[in-house]
Structure 1
Amino acid sequence: MHAAAPDGARPAPAPATVPVPDVFDPRRYAKGIPHEAYRLLRDRHPVAWQEEPEFDGWPAGPGFWAVTRHADVVRVLRDHTAYSSWLGATQIRDPDPADLPFLRRTMLNQDPPGHGRLRRLVSRAFTPARVDAFAARVRERARTLLAGARYRAEDGAADVVATVTDEYALLNLTDLLGIPAADRALLLEWTVRVIGYQDPEDAPEPLRGPDGRPLNPRSPALLGEMFAYARELAAYKRRHPGDDVMTSLATAGLEPAELEMFFFLLTVAGNDTVRSAAPGALLALAGAPGAYRRLAAGEVPVERAVEELLRVHPPVLSFRRTAAADTELAGQPIRAGDKVVVFHASANHDERVFAEPGRLDLARTPNPHVSFGDGPHVCLGAHFARLQLRVLQEEWRTAMPAPELAGPPRRLVSNFINGITRLPLRVSGPGR
């Protein structure tokens, strides 16, 4: 229980007999997912208070509750009445209060029933049938990019992020959205600015406000260019409709602000899911050559292998909710207004759910990972992501050697996205 605190200030959590490890600092994720810290939290502090200090010019925050067990993560993600996406949006850092109404326009930062209305609208555009119709194009792109990586290899090695996976994710998404080829580089630029803002190497120099502090990359001031483009593209699609997602959104009767936020969400989340998961899967396989041999030999269904690769390398590390009322989670009292942050990678390694979670078992079943979330906000593009990841694995095992590191990988400095920014692999030699 909390100790008493004067003047209505937040009381400090009770002293812990086992120190609570920090899982907030974005820099520690550049060294890899902190599985030992997660395990300690699951075992001893499943709902643990985390400090939120200043980082690289970003101001300190009030702190939050870290939720690390699978059952508790699922409970938070499913219970939108107790744990709201709307109250404080879904990033750990608090947005500027002036930006919050703007951020609430996207369905990611809404609760039912408003969330459901927007989700139904975009679901009509993002149908499995439309996604599946792109399978042949996705496969041809995988073959072309893999062949190009081999052709441009130096000493038999290539950075597959730069030569394969970044373009693979980006071009597949722009095909589905119906974005002209000449404009596709814009999407990558916007994604890097929004996703990589914690990483001094991956992100451009942040724009700063009058006080010298960085502007939030999701603020209206920094998204104006993207929104203007979305309006122009929607107008073009109304005049020149096609069989693509943007045509469907442009003719769905959305308010202009809703269409802009859908474009933002699909552009950034739709791109970065595969942009993170694809190299993460190859890195995992490079560390488990025996598992890869089984996959290459056809002993494991690729669809099942993809689920296990998603389990060990979820694209998203964390998502935030805000307690709508005083409540309790895993015995820990939580006050209304507290930030509650679920950690997907920890839930995916919970020994209470997954036998030998540290082992890459490509045949694992059942595999109830939460890499695409759960509850009303489960990832809308999961079907498209799975298609791309499956095809890439199928084409890799046909054309490429077993994944083998040719140098150290580099991970994104982020406590939000589980990104790989460099992945040098051997790409010469026979397939399989």
Structure 2
Amino acid sequence: METLVPGPLAGIRIADFTWVGAGPFLTKPLADHGAEVIKVESRTRTDVIRDMPPFADGVRGINRSGYFANRNSSKKSICLDLKARDGHRLALRLIAVSDVVVSNFTPGTMDRLGLGYRAACAVRPDVIYLEMPMQGASGPHRDFRGYGLSIAAAGGLFGLSGYPDRPPVGTGTNYPDHVPNPLHGAIAVLAALRHRRRTGRGQYIELAQLESTVNLIGPAVVAAAAGEDVTRRGNADDWAAPHGVYPCAGEDRWCAIAVQDDEQWSALVTVLGLPSEPGFATAAQRRRAPGLDEWISAATRGWDRDKLADALADAGVPAAGVNDARDLIETDPQLRARGHWVRLRHPEMGDCLYDGLPYRLSRTPGRPRSAAPLLGADTREVCTRLLGVADTEYDQLERTGVIG
């Protein structure tokens, strides 16, 4: 059996009141690096993504979602009724023994439950408390709710994705939920832990997801503020032409190509066997040429995607095959060499594939350490071992539905 090196966050405990996408993905890398993350759930209002596909073997179930599993590796799950007096008492007891509290509910929800920052400080004065409301905890839009797609639209990301003569196409996924917001939050928690180690003081962190998402389009915001016309441009780029994805042999096979200077352009023309075309001779001409992409596409259609990418890369032209999910898992040489994919045994779904981490720490490498938890799998262990609940009291609370 593999022996895991203790992660750099070993000894840190996180009371995780998050759900859906951004919140759980914030606590996932912390858990994968050794923090004890205790996910607080409800049996009456389960995490939305527990009921989102894909499901193992196509069988729906609250413990069978691959989406939930990949967002919640290395965590524990307990079920508490936070509106019940005893459930609230146990939640406060959990906060008292935790270093970090994380929530992504609508502003005011944790306060109404009696679990807000002031209540947390009363039982743990040096607590690090992070909330991630959609548009902040104050202002006229504080109560607006939304997911990654609505945040991407409100934050301007969708306005920049697509072609100028067509509606926005977005990013194909809830990008704010998967990249900027959870990872900005994770870095904020790490900075707060470092600050507490040096000063002994905790802090309250408000991460407004809309504001976090706007960071993605900083250059466009600056350009617009300077009076430039900022709009959707398809794959066009100021520094490369051609710059796009080009069809290859087979169904839905594409190669991404970016030519940044005349030397790379000459190499591209040579590899593709293209005739000299005076209208495309300079970078300025290529950026303005309306028929450039069609001219290149006609030459790439007969190529095997990977052979074309390799031939261009060998000639000094930035190029790569566009992978689908199967390619990423089965054939991508870099991910295979890095051991990116991790298989873990799930109690109900069996052998499951998990994302590894996109970076490595030399002395304390992180990785998914356990499969995602079954709903409430750790309630008894956490309540009796950590929160001091006697077995008889636990059985009574379980019968009344306060825990489970």
Q: For this structure pair, what is the TM-score category when the shorter chain's length is used for normalisation?
A: under 0.3
The structure whose RCO (Cα within 8 Å, separation 6+) is larger is: 1
Greater share of strand: 2
Rg larger for: 2
Greater share of helix: 1
